[in-house]
């Protein structure tokens, strides 16, 4: 069935369909390379066995929202196929049926399990939080020398720096969300500093933002219980743009080793300008 479905998908993409009603479909099937697609209704017309999404799901296809997958190829493909742009509103109603490579996924899961075991042994993964969050918090402890202690005001642990309470937020993506980084105001009220560690998808630091919590509270006082800190609002506190808080870094070697090359170049340039000692290749 899989081969038949992909054969029909390939057939659909031999020509464009700007004069059809396929652009109104809300369910599309995605090719294995994630670059081409076909409306489910086209497959249904050409194969009586295909009655709907469930017909493909029972053979191994997965049903996901286009908004969840964030597949940019689909937007380009849609515009090419139907000679019209995909609107953001209609995009939210679209679902994609995609084929997972089960063997490769299983092999990857085995590899991830080995990596997780290693990270557990080295006390980076110690609770139920996800990997990016725990890695980011660990990097905060290594780079800034944060002291982690059992919280007296809430469940979990607090971070302390020079006797002051620190809130650590981790943002895991190759670029910032237009909405900004989500922070609960109640956590700001309890902390003196807020450190946002921006991790790339490859788990390397792409930037760090060091903020005074009081400044954030005053600047966003009318925003309710949840704040969204956009890059533009706090840009002057990014390590890539200011050396204001470089003195709070206790382990510059770790900062360099766990950061993206482009970020390292920016910080090194600023350190040289401010005559701050740049670490060598000694062990972290």
131 plus 79 within the same structural domain: no
In a domain, 172, yes or no: yes
Residue 83 structure tokens: 């000679």
User: CATH number for the domain including 217?
Assistant: 3.40.1350
Query: Could you tell me the end-to-end alpha-carbon distance of the chain, in angstroms, rounded to an integer?
Result: 53
247 plus 179 within the same structural domain: yes
- pLDDT (tens, 9 = 90+) of the chain, 284 residues, equals 889 999 999 999 999 999 999 999 999 999 999 999 999 999 999 988 888 888 888 888 998 999 888 888 999 999 999 999 999 899 989 999 999 887 888 899 899 889 989 999 998 888 777 889 999 999 999 899 888 776 666 655 678 888 899 999 999 999 988 888 888 887 788 889 999 999 999 999 999 999 998 888 887 766 678 888 888 888 889 999 988 888 888 888 889 999 999 999 999 877 776 656 655 544 44
95 plus 22 within the same structural domain: yes
176 plus 252 within the same structural domain: yes
In a domain, 112, yes or no: no
In a domain, 284, yes or no: no
93 plus 172 within the same structural domain: no
Residue 84 structure tokens: 């019209």
22 plus 156 within the same structural domain: no
The dihedral of CA 221, 226, 232, 234: what is its sign?
A: positive
Task: Provide the pairing of β-strand 205-212 with 193-199.
Answer: antiparallel
In a domain, 110, yes or no: no
147 plus 240 within the same structural domain: yes
Instruction: Name, in order, each residue with C-beta under 8 angstroms of 234's C-beta and a sequence gap of 6 or more.
Output: 209, 211, 216
Tally of domains within the chain: 2
* Domain ranges, residue 143: 126-273
């Amino acid at each position: 069935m899989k081969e038949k479905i992909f054969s029909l998908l390939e057939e659909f993409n031999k020509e464009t369909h700007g004069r059809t009603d396929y652009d109104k479909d809300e369910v599309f099937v995605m090719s294995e390379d994630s670059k081409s697609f076909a409306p489910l209704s086209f497959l249904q017309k050409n194969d009586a066995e295909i009655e709907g999404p469930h017909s493909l799901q029972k053979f191994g296809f997965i049903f996901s929202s286009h908004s969840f997958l964030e597949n940019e190829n689909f937007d380009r493909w849609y515009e090419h196929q139907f000679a019209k742009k995909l609107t953001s509103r209609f995009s939210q109603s679209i679902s994609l049926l995609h084929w997972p490579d089960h063997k490769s996924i299983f092999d990857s899961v085995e590899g991830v399990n080995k990596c997780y075991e290693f990270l557990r042994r080295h006390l980076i993964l110690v609770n139920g939080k996800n990997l990016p969050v725990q890695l980011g918090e660990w990097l905060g402890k290594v780079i800034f020398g944060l002291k982690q202690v059992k919280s007296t005001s809430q469940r979990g642990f607090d971070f302390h720096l020079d006797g002051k309470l620190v809130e650590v937020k981790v943002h895991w993506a190759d670029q910032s969300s237009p909405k900004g980084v989500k922070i609960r105001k109640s956590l700001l009220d309890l902390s003196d500093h807020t450190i946002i560690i921006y991790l790339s998808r490859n788990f390397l630091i792409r930037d760090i933002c060091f903020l005074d919590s009081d400044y954030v509270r005053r600047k966003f006082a009318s925003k309710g219980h949840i704040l969204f800190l956009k890059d533009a609002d706090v840009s002057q506190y990014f390590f890539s743009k200011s050396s204001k808080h470089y003195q709070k870094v206790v382990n510059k070697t770790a900062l360099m080793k766990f950061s993206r090359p482009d970020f390292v170049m920016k910080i090194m340039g600023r350190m040289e300008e401010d005559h701050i000692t740049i670490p060598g290749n000694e062990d972290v």
